[in-house]
Amino acid sequence: MQSILRYFKKADYTIWLICTLLSITMSAGLRAQEIGTEQVRFMNTPLLFSKNGQKYQQLLAEYLSDKSGKITFRSGGKELLSSAVTRGENRFLLTLPAVSSPEEITLQTTIDNGEPLYHKVMVVPPKRWTVYLVQHSHTDIGYTRPQSEILAEQMRYIDYALDYCDQTDNMPDDARFRWSCESSWVTREYIRTRPASQLDRLFQRIRERRIEVTGMFANMSEIVGEHTLVDLLQPLKEIRDLGIQVTTAMQNDVNGVAWSMPDLFRNSGVKYLIMGINETRSIRPFEIPTCFWWEAPSGARLLAFRGEHYMTGNFYNIGNEEMDFIPLIRGISELEGKGYPFDRIGLQFSGYFTDNAPPSTAACAFVKEWNATYESPRLRLAVASEFMEYVEKNHAGELPVYRKAWLDWWTDGFGSVSRETAEIRKTENAIEQDEGVFSVISMLDGDLPTEMEKKIGHVKENIIFFAEHTVGAAESIESPFSENSVKQWLQKGAYAWEAVKKETLLREEALARLQPFLFKADFPVINVINPLGWDRSGTVRVFIDSGIVPSDKRVRITDIATGKEVPFQLIAKRTEGAYWMLEVSDVPALGCKALRIDRANEPVLPDTVADDAVLENRYYRLEIDKRSGAVNSLIDKKLNLELVDSNNPYQLGQPVRESSEKRDTPPFHRTVSHNVRIEKGVKGAIWESIKIFYGMPGFGGAGEGAEKGIELEVRLYRNTRKIEFAYRAHKEIVTDPEALYIAFPFSLPDSRIVFETTGGTLTWGEQLPGSSSDWNVAQNFVSVRGSKGQIVLVSNEVPLWHFSDFNMGKFERFPQPGEPWLYSWVMNNYWFTNFRAYQEGSFSWSYQLTSTDDTTNAFAVRFARGERNSFATRTLPAGMQASGEALLRTLNINGPANAPLIHIRPSFRKRSVVLHFREVDGLPAEIQLSPANATVTIRKVTEINSLGEETGAAGSTIRLVPYEVKFIEVEI
């Protein structure tokens, strides 16, 4: 995406590109001598050719001159070349008889009529290379043009590719046009919309390996979870059903990929991963292009290639109408000098030097001319998998193995669209809950039409489109109010709001279809549904109409199954009803529990106002510093520990604003609010709270009486080990570089920072070296874990974190463990392109905190998923007679806590559900499935892959090895 702006946005970027392509690596066989401000350099190349029965090789000579003139090269008294020079960089190929072993020679250089210069150069035998050139169009959904235009043009490129295959059929095989489809979304839509005759052409070219289909829907950020990535792969199912085998996934531009991908691709036919990384605002793993076995925590693996930039071939002049071999010669020679181990490599390029580029046949002529000139290196226009097949066949056993997360540097840009990112994360969890409800309906043999699958798919694809790496226009920062910038952001943001709107309707439909099975009585009932795979307790927010529960009258809510009173608390009132918070217990997995509402004619009593500085219950004591408005002390009474580190200059929950004069370049300036107001909160049945208001530059409102600054309500839950930090910021439009953090400087003996990335849990610093370390994305939780326990912190809205310090600009390849200090990175506008330059209006987000002596991943996963995946509810008014079950169960999932059910969904094509399990603590696990309802009978249990394809029988006992991921279909 940033390929063009990185190099051509400004004049200094153009100069950088030229310097990069012409920079010199001092390696064996290269010598340089300065002449005033001038330099002569020599480099061995792999060029080899024959003439008149004699083999020759060539050296590359480079001469940087400050004036025009003439240069002459000689060896052994024989003139090799005499040529005019111009001011600047001059490059020449010097032809020598090929050597069979290293041989030192003396080269003589004469500049104009000056004294000869002598250079000792070690000439080495040319390495016989094969270079696979892979043409593709990098799919930015936006950036170059509005999002609405991209799919049409990308599908049209496949039409062009078919024509170009036809046009080059008579060329030498290596020079024939070939095309790799980077996005499976584009391929799927092409297959859905093109006539049969055109598809016949496509399928024929795929069989001939002139066109290849690859396996990633789009080039993804890290803001979505592993169950959404399952849906990312669903185009593969349609493509495979047509008999097209897909072996390769391409993730380009972005510089990381979800750790769950080896698990999700397992048994799908996809075994190769090619990463064409753009190093803008990042560093890359490894110093040179590297093939390695990349493993998920389970040991599932992909043969991965950390390649060069996805337009490296364009940097080397591949595809230009005017042929110039020198850039490619220099690029291959530098690779060899850096110690690249193989004699083959795959390089990507596009038909034109731009993202979303159409295909071109210019490279065909380039390859034909090159191969007619040189015996080595051999160039070949190839599809993406050809190089990977060579590596697998010839080097598989010698490749290094990395079982480490490949974390993305670019997801930080989603901090520039905080509101929509929060909505996507919440909607992603909401659709997971909906699928749980639909699964319950399916198991109860309820009405579940197949068109529901399309409705769910529509929501999920909007989530995926928002999470795709392209957010806005190329000029989004330098011209944030231009028509193109505004159009592209509105279209990108529309993905989020479309998902929100459609999920809301889908939730209503799910609950309506479940309603015939819910408990009804001659009194009002709240049915609480648990769509997760384990019995759980917790809080749930519910809106109840005034006709059922008047907000000004006292009520009593009772758990019908146990007869126990249910704590509840009024949150907010509206004319037609009110929002309530309920605290429910032991709601069955994939089932529901009914609560009885009894009304009284007595007026509701106001909540008792809490203290304005101290909150305390039987679990914690929390103290607010009235000067900073942050928590300066948090004592865990069970652990007998102070959890706040007083050595940090910031306090727990304190907002920190950061700014920089040069976008994301040091120095950074950090400030806190010195205008703090603290108010008493509430002391209800569920929590007591303190409210804090901060004045902060960049946060306020327009007009008299407008809300100002940042608000925080600290909520200490009365009956459970939980503290909540609920924020609201009122953002002013600011295009100067700025960021907002919330500090959580914890103290815990012998501790380290652990977080859940997409598909696994890791200790910070143990990721793939060179992958993102300045900032990271948490899928569900961040934990400070030590010898005496762990502190778990969850945010449903904010995914970005800095660990141990404010880390902007460090770019550490091997980050070292530091203090257990967490900084939630709420928002920023630090990018120079693509992302938003400003945010505006009110935005709410929150964190839930707990601490425990249980240091397992299982505890953290369950706490986090319980907080992020709320219960669903259905409130029913009083009816004529009772029906349904007050405690409804469907399927028993009996297994250890370390093997949670990650996701459940109905198959829709038959009465079955698909279960997605992941073992999280590195221990074997055994799960027993059994019916929990008379209407549920388990007829068949099958192990499937992520695409829903059968891979083997499973039985009602499911066994997981450490960290294993399994998909199980249960037919009812």
- For 909-940, how does the pLDDT look when each residue is reduced to its tens digit (9 = 90+)? 889 999 999 999 999 999 999 999 998 999 99
pLDDT value, residue 704: 54
Least confident segment among 140-154, 305-319, 600-614, 618-632: 600-614
Where is the domain boundary, 88, 123, 158?
123
Helix, strand, coil abundance in the chain, percent, nearest 5? 25, 35, 40
Q: Does some domain include residue 633? A: yes
Kindly indicate the confidence band of residue 35, based on its pLDDT and cuts at 50, 70 and 90: very low
Is there a domain that residue 415 lies in?
Answer: no
Confidence of residue 858 (pLDDT cuts 50, 70, 90): very high
Is 919 inside a domain boundary?
Answer: yes
Average pLDDT on 71-91 reads 95
Say what the alpha-carbon torsion angle 33, 37, 43, 49 is, to the nearest 10 degrees: -110
The answer on pLDDT for 77 being more than 60 is: yes
End-to-end CA distance of the chain: 47
CA distance 615 to 638: 16
Asked if 154 and 112 sit in the same domain, the reply is no
Nearest to 309 by CA among 279, 335, 273, 334: 279
Note whether 837 and 935 are same-domain residues.
no
221 and 308 co-located in one domain: yes
Helix 184-193 × helix 196-207 angle, to 10°: 140
pLDDT tens-digit readout, 483-525: 999 999 999 999 999 999 999 999 999 999 999 999 999 999 9
Q: Residue type for 232, please?
A: L
pLDDT one-digit tens code per residue, 4-27: 443 333 223 222 222 332 332 333
Residue 713 lies in a domain: yes
* 105 & 158 share domain: no
* SS3 (DSSP) at 382: strand
How far is Cα 866 from Cα 346, in angstroms, rounded to an integer? 45
Q: What is the CATH number of the domain that holds 309?
A: 3.20.110.10
* Whether residue 379 is found in the same domain as residue 280: yes
Which structural domain, as residue segments, surrounds residue 660?
614-748+800-814+821-846
User: How many residues does the structure list for the chain?
Assistant: 972
Burial (CB < 10 A; 0-12, 13-18, 19+), residue 59, is buried
Task: Kindly state whether residues 107 and 170 are assigned to the same domain.
Answer: no
Task: Give pLDDT, residue 700.
Answer: 87
- Residue 38's pLDDT is 55
Instruction: Give every strand in the sheet of 272-277, ordered side by side.
Output: 248-253, 272-277, 301-306, 290-295, 401-402
Whether residue 419 contacts residue 500, with contact meaning beta carbons closer than 8 Å, is answered with: no
Query: Which stretch of 179-188, 320-329, 526-535, 898-907 has the lowest confidence by average pLDDT?
Result: 320-329
Determine the pLDDT at residue 27. Answer: 36
Is 601 in the same domain as 623?
no
CATH code of the domain covering residue 560: 2.60.40.1180
pLDDT tier at 950, thresholds 50, 70, 90 = very high
Number of domains in the chain: 5
* 814, pLDDT greater than 90: yes
Residue 838 shares a structural domain with residue 909: no
Both structure tokens of 928: 């027993």
| Radius of gyration of the chain measured on its C-alpha atoms | 31
Count of CB atoms situated within 10 Å of the CB of 125: 15
Residue 686's nearest CA partner among 715, 717, 647, 662 is: 717
What is the three-class DSSP state of 800? strand
Average pLDDT, the chain: 93
Beta bridge pairs of residue 54: 51
Examine residue 316 and state whether it is found in any structural domain, yes or no.
yes
Instruction: For residues 285 and 336, state if they share a domain.
Output: yes
Q: Clarify whether residues 830 and 960 are in a common domain.
A: no
- 532 and 404 share one domain: no
What pLDDT does 550 receive?
A: 86
Classify residue 862: in a domain, yes or no. Answer: no
The CA distance from 144 to 488, in Å, is: 10
User: Which tens digits make up the pLDDT trace of 714-733?
Assistant: 999 999 999 999 999 999 99
Q: What is the structure's pLDDT at 283?
A: 96
- Identify the band that residue 707 occupies on the pLDDT scale cut at 50, 70 and 90: low
If pLDDT is split at 50, 70 and 90, which confidence band does 706 have? low
Would the pLDDT of 955 be above 90? Answer: no
Q: Does residue 770 belong to any structural domain of this protein?
A: no
Q: What's the pLDDT score for residue 6?
A: 38
756 in a structural domain: no
pLDDT, tens digit, 9 for 90 and up, residues 540-585: 999 999 989 888 888 999 999 999 999 999 999 999 999 999 999 9
The mean per-residue pLDDT over the stretch 214-236 comes to 96
Question: Computed from CA positions of residues 461, 463, 469, 474, in that sequence, does the dihedral angle turn out positive or negative?
Answer: positive
d(CA 690, CA 716): 9
116 and 136 in a common domain: no
CA distances for 372 relative to 172, 360, 362, 820, angstroms? 10, 21, 16, 61
Mean per-residue pLDDT for 656-675? 93
pTM beyond 0.85: yes
C-alpha to C-alpha distance for 13 and 242, rounded to whole angstroms: 45
Tell me the pLDDT tens digit for each residue of 371-418: 999 999 999 999 999 999 999 999 999 999 999 999 999 999 999 999
* Structural domain ending residue among the three candidates 410, 431, 464: 410
